[in-house]
Structure 1
């Protein structure tokens, strides 16, 4: 179907796809609405085989058999899909043409069909035989090895139900009961109603107890009213005999108040603890700041001392050099002024 939609312009393809999706969603709950969506898709893209097949199936489920038959023929012609033969035969039967339905069961492509479609075609053929008053032929048509096949296929309960129904019509009630039970045994969802048919043959009835269908006589209601009145009188007497005691109520109220007070006290204590923790944290931060400031001051003092020492060293060495030079000069002068005898 996607490949077919790609042959359309993008906008048109999206619109057709939307209607086909809507048709599929409503197929089980509202076949007529599903059919209307499929018709819109056909009006937009009538040359697509998938669209025509959607119209055919929805028309068939909505019981528009004449149009469904026309569309199924178009599907076979356009796509070569012969799996629709069983539904075509059922349309012919619904239109009151069982002979044409039987003719379709002899189509040359029947042997090419899948097993589910072949079983459905057998069921339709048996129904057409019964429409023509050929009940024995219908039973013979359905008496196939697949009746006893061990499978979970969806067609098995339908095949067994159709066989049991034909047996009952032929007056073979005991055999019909057996096959209704066998059909119910493989019909887990109860789609065929085989269990109900078996119960009917056994003389059992299933009754739905709805409010509108339930009928009770007036005596029942009168007795119920009398019982209720007696119960009320006994209850009143019990209330009169028992003294009123509000102690429990007061105790509960006091306990509740105490609980509230305890909760309030706990909340206050928690708030105080949080405040104290905040104050301690603030004090710790202040102490840390002071320590940082003291450390900075110490570092500054150390730097100042280093600078002062450097200056002192430089000045001292300069003065020492000056004094030394002066002493040397004085000694030289004294040595020059001494008499020669003194040297000797």
Structure 2
């Protein structure tokens, strides 16, 4: 399929889902009345629902989904591994640990930006540890092993904080955050998430040619003038910033960065560079659809969006493993 047409169709799908997300739910709101009242100087219940509840939820779902889809395509292209995901170098688990530490020490109640900042610092710290552990000129295998070690350490520290939590309410808050959700957020949290997401995306921009060259092997890419070490750590930093910013707000939402690149890769001719913007739009569409789907459950049934993406993504992950094994036989 033509790249421009594919991007246009996915962009139209994302915009449509954002509009649908503003007005659909367990308690749908009248579209035109809510729009009209939101333009008035006097706030009403409908205008507040639209601008302070539904709008930040839709924007956070779109940008977080785009971040996860983009970073998944980056990691799979960089590591030349179809099973790679943004959490492979510790950024997701590091962000989760940073945010959980903020919740554990109660810093979120004293400083409104503490939670997203904790997630970003956790992601950057985990990526730095992977860098120090693997070494500057590490091989792909060494990087993956270092990422697995840091992921395990971050999860162990999260378990320790859960074990030491001062009350059942603190445990509940941490556990619910880890399930992943785009609900109950304000525009302030969206604006805090946005700079890290945009900066990470900016660091990815322009590296499509280098990722295409990597498909021919590192030696060939070097002969084409690609600085492999610089490319690797620039993209790791980009993933840490973008994913850390998103995960610190939404909590742990898995499998978007794994599933979306796989579904869309055949449509771009299996070219990693062309897959980047397509995966960003696909990730936004997937998370928006998942968030819309959980709103259609009966009122009083609270399903976190991270649970739904895991229910969809886990069987797909098992399918990829079995497919890889068959290909090796």
TM-score (norm 1): 0.22
For CA contacts below 8 A with separation 6 or more, give which structure has more relative contact order.
2
Q: TM-score, normalised by structure 2?
A: 0.23
